């Protein structure tokens, strides 16, 4: 049996999105900036997508900047706010310790340029409180950026409350909503967000396309032509934008039904995995995305677990950064207080409405088996069992 349980990394493209992608590439080949009729037809298709996306997100069409994905949107939001802040002598940014690297690494760069960055702790539940933001902001804060839902442990943040604090303090607020859009209701106004990032391939659209919604004027990251009202140069990737719009429309239309199905499978998976001795669910159980299952298993290495699960047909993720050649465990798991040795034994399963009950049953049979197999070979597990080392979980 083959089980795809890595939807937070990238979700399979919806067939309807794939179809509109091909149709658009064929039919709307003109450049939307060209004045002739083929160009104008493409431009009209682009504005249809902008209007539809705006309607689905509760914002105005002119607030949408189509980008190459979530990373670009995050980079642009933060860099634009930093440059605007710097002009006013404001060089302090508030964020959290468990943001995506598309946020954290930009903040690292700004730090090198003299910005002061406050990364709020997220506690063992993996949730930052609006009160923490209130206490952290200062007169020289030029941006607050807090993700909507974490990509590793799925925890959902009180974004609207944080946005309300920022509104009150008149500080620009950006949220990386890449894991949320298409999965939970997202209304930019209701969230009190000034800027919001999204990415198509997390909700059944193509890779390499996304958007930054911005209520504030933002300077371009990519300089060149006047596309996107001068906020993002480059000929628009129309087939990808149309396919993203199709995927978003369908995701929103099917959200309630899909959510109930995914949640039921997820709850069964969590309950079943909890029966494995010396393991723990990562992050708050209630305030989390309905498709997210993230566990730490003591005494094993997440990478070995992934490889053996892959052999058994289960495509999962570890949520750790070991693949990049570094042996550092995930910054997210460290942020919720997991010690290094435990953070290494992580497993992330992210479900979609395409998963089935049979697949859940299969995973509940295979995962405990593979965990036990690895533990039987693990010197760390032997030490834990003999009492030479103390269990953390």
Ligand X SMILES: *Cc1c(COP(=O)(O)O)cnc(C)c1O
Q: Which two tokens stand for residue 379?
A: 């010197």
Going by C-alpha positions, the residue among 346, 372, 355 that lies closest to residue 154 is: 346
Site string for ligand X, 290-329 (x = CB under 6 A): ----------------------------------------
Residue closer to ligand X, measured from CB, 155 or 227: 155
Which of 24, 71, 145, 227 touches ligand X by CB under 6 A? 71
Q: Which helix (H) or strand (E) holds 116?
A: strand 116-120
Residue closer to ligand X, measured from CB, 68 or 141: 68
Residue 146 near ligand X by CB under 6 A: no
Q: Applying CB under 6 A, which part among 83-91, 123-131, 171-179, 265-273 lies near ligand X?
A: 171-179
Rounded distance, CA 165 to CA 134, Å?
Answer: 6
Rounded distance, CA 318 to CA 310, Å?
Answer: 12
Reduced to 3 states, what is the DSSP secondary structure of residue 254? Answer: coil
Which of 132, 175, 179, 245 touches ligand X by CB under 6 A? 179
Mark out the alpha helices in 137-284 (DSSP H runs): 159-169, 227-230, 238-253, 255-274
Residue 355 near ligand X by CB under 6 A: no
Residue 251 makes CB contacts below 8 A (sequence gap 6+) with 182, 183, 203, 204, 258
Reduced to 3 states, what is the DSSP secondary structure of residue 305? Answer: helix
Which of 6, 176, 249, 301 touches ligand X by CB under 6 A? 176
Query: How many residues of this chain bind ligand X (CB under 6 A)?
Result: 14
Residue closer to ligand X, measured from CB, 160 or 392: 160
Q: Minimal CB distance to ligand X: which residue? A: 70
Site string for ligand X, 73-112 (x = CB under 6 A): -x-------------------------x-x----------
Residue 151 near ligand X by CB under 6 A: yes
Which of 3, 50, 59, 69 touches ligand X by CB under 6 A? 69
Please provide the DSSP assignment of 166-180 as one string: HHHHT--EEEE-TTT
Residue 211 near ligand X by CB under 6 A: no
Residue closer to ligand X, measured from CB, 130 or 181: 181
Residue 70 near ligand X by CB under 6 A: yes
Rounded distance, CA 12 to CA 207, Å?
Answer: 10
Residue 348 near ligand X by CB under 6 A: no
Residue closer to ligand X, measured from CB, 202 or 344: 202
Residue closer to ligand X, measured from CB, 207 or 382: 207
Yes or no: say if 13 and 205 are a contact pair by the CB < 8 Å rule: yes
Residue 210 near ligand X by CB under 6 A: yes
Residue 132 near ligand X by CB under 6 A: no
Residue 157 near ligand X by CB under 6 A: no
Rounded distance, CA 342 to CA 271, Å?
Answer: 20
325-330: long-range contacts (C-beta < 8 A, 24 or more apart)? 330/152
- CA 390 centroid distance within chain: 34
Rounded distance, CA 282 to CA 275, Å?
Answer: 15
Q: Closest separation between CB of residue 238 and ligand X, Å?
A: 18
Q: Please indicate whether residue 142 is annotated as part of the active site.
A: no
Residue closer to ligand X, measured from CB, 43 or 77: 77
Q: Closest separation between CB of residue 105 and ligand X, Å?
A: 11
Q: Which helix (H) or strand (E) holds 37?
A: helix 37-57
Yes or no: say if 349 and 316 are a contact pair by the CB < 8 Å rule: yes
Q: Applying CB under 6 A, which part among 57-65, 69-77, 126-134, 346-354 lies near ligand X?
A: 69-77
Residue 44 makes CB contacts below 8 A (sequence gap 6+) with none
Residue closer to ligand X, measured from CB, 94 or 360: 94
Q: Which residues pair with 244 in a beta bridge?
A: none
Q: How many helices (H) and strands (E) does the chain have?
A: 14, 12
Residue 182 near ligand X by CB under 6 A: no
Which of 147, 244, 316, 333 touches ligand X by CB under 6 A? 147
Binding residues for ligand X, rule: CB under 6 A, are 69-71, 74, 100, 102, 147, 151, 176, 178-179, 199, 202, 210
Q: Which residues are catalytic?
A: 322
């Amino acid at each position: 049996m083959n089980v795809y349980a890595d939807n937070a990394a990238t979700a399979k493209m919806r067939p309807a999105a794939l179809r509109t992608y091909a149709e658009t590439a064929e039919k709307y080949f003109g450049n939307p900036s060209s004045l002739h009729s083929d160009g104008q037809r493409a431009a009209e298709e682009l504005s249809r997508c902008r209007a539809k996306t705006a309607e689905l997100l509760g914002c105005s069409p002119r607030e949408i900047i189509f980008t190459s994905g979530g990373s670009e949107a995050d980079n642009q939001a933060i860099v634009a706010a930093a440059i605007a802040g710097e002009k006013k002598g404001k060089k302090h940014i508030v964020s959290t310790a468990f943001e995506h690297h598309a946020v954290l690494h930009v903040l690292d760069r700004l730090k090198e340029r003299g910005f002061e960055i406050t990364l709020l702790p997220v506690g063992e539940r993996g949730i930052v409180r609006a009160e923490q933001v209130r206490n952290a902001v200062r007169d020289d804060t030029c941006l607050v950026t807090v993700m909507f839902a974490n990509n590793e442990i799925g925890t959902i943040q009180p974004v609207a409350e944080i946005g309300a604090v920022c509104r009150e303090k008149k500080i620009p607020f950006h949220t990386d909503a890449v894991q949320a859009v298409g999965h939970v209701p997202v209304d930019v106004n209701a969230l009190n967000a000034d800027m919001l990032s999204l990415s198509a391939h997390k909700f059944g659209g193509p890779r390499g396309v996304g958007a930054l919604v911005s209520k504030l004027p933002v300077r371009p990251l990519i300089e060149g032509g006047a596309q996107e009202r001068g906020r993002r140069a480059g000929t628009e990737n129309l087939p990808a934008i149309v396919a993203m719009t199709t995927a978003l429309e369908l995701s929103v239309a099917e959200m309630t039904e899909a959510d109930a199905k995914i949640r039921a499978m997820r709850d069964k998976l969590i309950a079943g995995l909890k029966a494995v001795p010396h393991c723990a669910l990562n992050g708050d159980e209630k305030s989390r995305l309905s498709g997210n299952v993230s566990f730490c298993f003591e005494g094993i290495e997440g990478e070995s677990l992934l490889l053996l699960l892959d052999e058994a047909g289960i495509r999962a993720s570890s949520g750790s950064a070991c693949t990049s050649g570094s042996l550092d465990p995930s910054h997210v798991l460290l942020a919720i207080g997991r010690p290094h040795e435990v953070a290494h034994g992580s497993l992330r399963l992210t479900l979609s409405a395409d998963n089935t009950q049979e697949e859940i049953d299969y995973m509940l049979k295979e995962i405990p088996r593979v965990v036990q197999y690895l533990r039987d070979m693990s010197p760390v597990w032997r030490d834990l069992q003999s009492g030479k080392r103390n269990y953390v979980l």
